[in-house]
Amino acid sequence: MRVLHFAIHRVAITRARCHPETQTYITRKTAEGKTHREAIRCLKRHLARRTWHLLQPTPEHRTTLSRSTP
C-alpha cells in the first residue's frame, strides 16, 4: 500500500509541475479556498479513482468471467 501511495504522489507532483490541465485544476482548487497541499490531496484522490475505474473489468468481460467460473 505504501508503494502505491508513493506512486500516486509522484504522478500528482509531476503532473502539477508539467501538465497544463493539472495546473489549471490546482489553480481552481486553490481559488476555491484550499491550500496547495489540500489541492494536491484532491488531485491524488482524483488520480486514484481514475486508476481504479481503469482497472475494473468491462461489463462484457465481467459476464464472461462469471459464466466461466463454477
Domain definitions of the chain by residue range: 2-68
Own/partner contacts of 16-25, CB < 8 Å, gap of 24 or more, are 16/40, 16/43
Tell me the pLDDT of the chain averaged across its residues: 89
User: How are the residues of the chain apportioned to helix, strand and coil, as percentages rounded to the nearest 5?
Assistant: 85, 0, 15
Span 30-45, pLDDT tens digits: 999 999 999 999 999 9
Predicted TM-score (pTM) of this structure = 0.77
